[in-house]
Amino acid sequence: MSLAAAAVTAHAAGTHALAAHAAPSNGSHGFLSPTGVEITFLLVGLVTFGAALVTVTTRQLVHAALWLVVALGGLAVEYLLLTAEFIAWVQVLIYVGSVVVLLLFGLMLTRAPIGRSPDADSGNRWAALAVAAVAAVTLVWVVVDAFRTTWIDLDGPAAGSTEATGESLFQNWVLPFEGLSVLLLAALVGAIVLSRKAKAEPGSPSVNSGAATGSSPSVPDSRNHPIGRNGASEGTGSGASEGTTPAEQEGAR
């Protein structure tokens, strides 16, 4: 499930942020005389970490998505504190503005009961924990190993300004950048191919066929494309997801 995956990423990223703190703090003024920025960094890191933990442990699905907003926003603040302004705003733009909105859209389209969902627990809890721990350890190890001797001068000119980021990206890292672009293009083409296939199948009307029959297109279309957790196994059958979701909301409280 994408939510769990995203949460694990946030979790790992939270740990990653904490680890990154260790590097600048034993800089010129020693570990035990931190500056205001470093204290703020640590506090925001703790908040981010806490929000990430709540994201993966809460039983309320939509709350998990909203806590994810806090975690991702906290990461953006960390980037800001490390003078990487451009990265910070892109983080907000992509993750808070788009990914979480997509996540909420998927949740609301399928099932988003008010209150706790007793079945929101996965049997893979320990496997997920193991994967998260391994990912966190790997990330911490890579970051500490890679940036062991790199210091960010917080008082000087911004090391992560848009100009600096752009120059290093398009002078030193052009090849990985282009490689990633091709990867994204492949994903885009793949998505189009998948959606075309679904259209050709008999019995699953396309987006526009709803309009042709005169009914509101967005509503009936979603019945045939339950996103993520399938409604059938939950006993909601092939009924309209919009129709049952508020009913579930009422039943759940």
Partner 1 sequence: MNDALDVTLRLLIVFVVFLTFPLLVGQTEHKVMAHMQGRLGPMYAGGFHGWAQLVADGVKFAQKEDVVPAGADRRIFQLAPAVALLPYLLVLLAIPIGPGEGAVGEVVDAGIFFVLAVMGVGVLGSLMAGWASANKFSLLGGLRTAAQLLAYELPMLLTAASVAMAAGTVSLVGILDAFEWWWLPWQIVGAIVFFVAGLAELQRPPFDMPVADSEIIFGAYTEYTGLRFALFLLAEYAGIVVLCGLTAVLFLGGWHGPWGADGLGWVWTLLKTAVLAFIVIWLRVTYPRLREDQLQKLSWTLLVPLSLAQIALTGIVKVVIQ
Cα–Cα distance measured from residue 212 to residue 205, given in angstroms and rounded to the nearest whole number: 10
Cα–Cα distance measured from residue 32 to residue 231, given in angstroms and rounded to the nearest whole number: 54
Residue 100 touches partner 1, criterion: CB under 8 A: yes
| Nearest by Cα to 37 from 52, 24, 18 | 24
List Cα–Cα distances, 241 to 100, 115, 221, 229, 234, in angstroms. Answer: 20, 18, 10, 12, 12
Minimum Å gap between C-beta 6 and partner 1 is 16
Contact positions with partner 1 (CB under 8 A) in 145-164: 158, 161-162
Minimum Å gap between C-beta 229 and partner 1 is 16
Residue 253 touches partner 1, criterion: CB under 8 A: yes
Of the listed pieces 119-127, 140-148, 195-203, 216-224, which binds partner 1 according to CB under 8 A? 216-224
**Which of 22, 158 has the CB closer to partner 1?**
158
Cα–Cα distance measured from residue 34 to residue 25, given in angstroms and rounded to the nearest whole number: 7
Question: For the chain, what's the residue count?
Answer: 253
| Nearest by Cα to 21 from 67, 99, 77 | 77
**Which of 168, 208 has the CB closer to partner 1?**
208
Contact positions with partner 1 (CB under 8 A) in 64-93: 66, 69, 85-86, 89-90, 92-93
Residue in this structure with the two tokens 């694990």, named with its chain if needed: 8
Q: Total binding residues for partner 1 by CB under 8 A? A: 41
Residue in this structure with the two tokens 């926003």, named with its chain if needed: 73
Contact positions with partner 1 (CB under 8 A) in 2-61: none
Interface with partner 1 (CB under 8 A): 62-63, 66, 69, 85-86, 89-90, 92-93, 96-98, 100-102, 104-105, 107-109, 112, 114-115, 158, 161-162, 207-208, 210-211, 216-219, 242, 245-246, 249-250, 253
